Amino acid sequence: MKVTIFGSGYVGLVTGACLAEAGNHVVCVDIDAGKVAMLNAGEVPIHEPGLDALIRRNRDGGRLEFTTDAARGVDHGLFQLIAVGTPPDEDGSADLRHVLSVAREIGARLQRYAVVVTKSTVPVGTADKVREQLTSALAARGASVEFDVVSNPEFLKEGVAIQDFLKPDRIVVGADSARSTELMHALYEPFTRNHDRLIVMDIRSAELTKYAANAMLAARISFMNEMTILCEAYGADVEDIRKGIGTDYRIGPAFLRAGCGYGGSCFPKDVAALEHISRAIGHENLFVNAIQTINKAQKKRFVEKVISKLGRPIDGATIAVWGLAFKADTDDIRESAALDVIRYLLEKGARVRATDPKAMENMKQVFKDEVEWMPDPVSAAVGADAVALLTDWPQYSTLPFRKIAATMNQPLIFDGRNCLHRDVMRENGFQYYPMGRPAVENKLRLKTKV
């Protein structure tokens, strides 16, 4: 099948590469000529495990193209997928300018029937606005071309997005015609052969499903982050509680890990958007408001813990920040906990030395020379008064901790992701403060540098 995707960001690239892998001929359209040139040269502008090889294989096989030519894209695809950004406005609402601009672009050039699919995360009623733009653009040129509008929200997790697409747990399709429903079934048939996981519903329900899913997942994380406060006050262990409730089949284990706050391109934006569309109908969504309040407070509470346990004034202290991406296996820093934590530390007068395996260049664009950028966690910790671990990169759990302890001003780690082993910290002389778990109040000081 012929597929056109407008937008070569995270969703567009993963969707395009995976659809091409299934044998479709995919054309990705983007207004950023530099990005298109990079992709055509075999370079991928984002970090997602396996994506570069997938793009290269399908580009070399002639199944995946990248262009700035919108006319070429509209002429190509039976499916016209809109996967452009919907950044939040100041009031939390989703900015639909790019989505509606693409709809007008399609309507201005469409010559034959097409299924216009919104992949971008959009508020309820966006499909109606897309339809209006298409109809208006067609009328402006006196054209009479049939089309259908479909909502097909993405549920990709950064770091495992390719696996999520190729082996989905569900595919949500909002459609209002038998023709478009049948075509969407055909498009996704290679991914649902063993188990038909395609769920068809009305368009508005599909649009709201994406927001509901992300808000529910954010709520689970926020609940566990609230539990860290009780655990630290009463000497309980949030990891034991996670296991105790996660084995209840009614709850399940996913998204119950506590930490210093969630981030990323989806949860903060979608929770804020859900709050906005609630207010649009005159409803104050207390549940959604609480999710946001808890998440903001958790990041600040992490810094307050650093200040209270540091053993010296934060003003002038050197804090090594390990991890800048909002999660491991990505270079995405959008709404990362590190953004707020570093800001708070700088406001308090701390000197920040930061490192990350993939996200450092992106974070440099934010803080520039306010932060000292280090090539690795070992060098970042040299001469530091404490380490703040903010991203759960697996390599951080296997570092030479004895060497690190011996080079720090004081061996002190604040683990915002609960990814280090308490016994290892104790054995290597660290004072160790995780989130919602018993601390290691280690009085041992290593005398010999190794």
Q: pLDDT band at 404, cuts 50/70/90?
A: very high
Cα 267 to its chain centre, rounded Å, is 7
> Could you write out the three-class secondary structure of 120-168?
CCCCCCHHHHHHHHHHHHHHHCCCCCCEEEEECCCCCCCCCHHHHHHCC
Contact 373, 342 (CB under 8 A): no
Contact 446, 406 (CB under 8 A): yes
- ∠ Cα 89 271 300 (to 5°): 90
Tokens found for residue 51: 């994506």
* Of the candidate ranges 175-179, 417-421, 424-428, 442-446, the one whose mean pLDDT is the lowest: 442-446
Please check whether residues 231 and 177 belong to one and the same domain. no
For the residues 393-400, what does the mean pLDDT come to? 97
Q: What does the pLDDT read at residue 447?
A: 42
**201, 230, 260 — which closes off a domain?**
201
Q: pLDDT band at 87, cuts 50/70/90?
A: confident
Please check whether residues 176 and 213 belong to one and the same domain. no
**186, 201, 216 — which closes off a domain?**
201
Question: How many domains does the chain contain in total?
Answer: 2
For the residues 206-217, what does the mean pLDDT come to? 95
Q: At residue 448, does pLDDT exceed 60? A: no
Please check whether residues 32 and 141 belong to one and the same domain. yes
Q: pLDDT band at 195, cuts 50/70/90?
A: confident
**Average confidence score pLDDT of the chain:** 95
Please check whether residues 300 and 163 belong to one and the same domain. no
Tell me how far apart the alpha carbons of residues 120 and 270 are, in angstroms, rounded to a whole number: 11
DSSP 336-364: -HHHHHHHHHHHTT-EEEEE-SSSHHHHH
Please check whether residues 304 and 289 belong to one and the same domain. yes
Active site residue 266: yes
Q: pLDDT band at 265, cuts 50/70/90?
A: confident
Tell me how far apart the alpha carbons of residues 57 and 64 are, in angstroms, rounded to a whole number: 9
Please check whether residues 213 and 152 belong to one and the same domain. no
Percent of the chain having pLDDT more than 90? 92
Burial of 325 (0-12, 13-18, 19+ CB in 10 A): buried
Tokens found for residue 437: 């778990």
The active-site residue, picked from 18, 260, 266, 419, is: 266
Please check whether residues 207 and 217 belong to one and the same domain. yes
Q: How many CB atoms lie within 10 A of CB 369?
A: 7
For the residues 149-173, what does the mean pLDDT come to? 95
Q: At residue 445, does pLDDT exceed 70? A: no
* Of the candidate ranges 3-7, 384-388, 412-416, 445-449, the one whose mean pLDDT is the lowest: 445-449
Please check whether residues 281 and 322 belong to one and the same domain. yes
For the residues 176-182, what does the mean pLDDT come to? 97
For the residues 42-56, what does the mean pLDDT come to? 93
Please check whether residues 273 and 134 belong to one and the same domain. no
pLDDT in tens, 60-77: 999 999 999 999 999 999
CATH code: domain of residue 24? 3.40.50.720
Please check whether residues 320 and 219 belong to one and the same domain. yes
pLDDT in tens, 313-369: 999 999 999 999 999 999 999 999 999 999 999 999 999 999 999 999 999 999 999
For the residues 387-403, what does the mean pLDDT come to? 97
Contact 242, 253 (CB under 8 A): yes
Tell me how far apart the alpha carbons of residues 124 and 73 are, in angstroms, rounded to a whole number: 27
Domain holding 351, by residue range, is 202-450
Q: What does the pLDDT read at residue 383?
A: 97
**168, 201, 234 — which closes off a domain?**
201
Q: What does the pLDDT read at residue 443?
A: 63
Please check whether residues 309 and 348 belong to one and the same domain. yes
Eight-class DSSP state of 189: G
Please check whether residues 188 and 212 belong to one and the same domain. no
Tell me how far apart the alpha carbons of residues 436 and 389 are, in angstroms, rounded to a whole number: 15
7, 42, 52: which is closest to 161 by C-alpha?
52
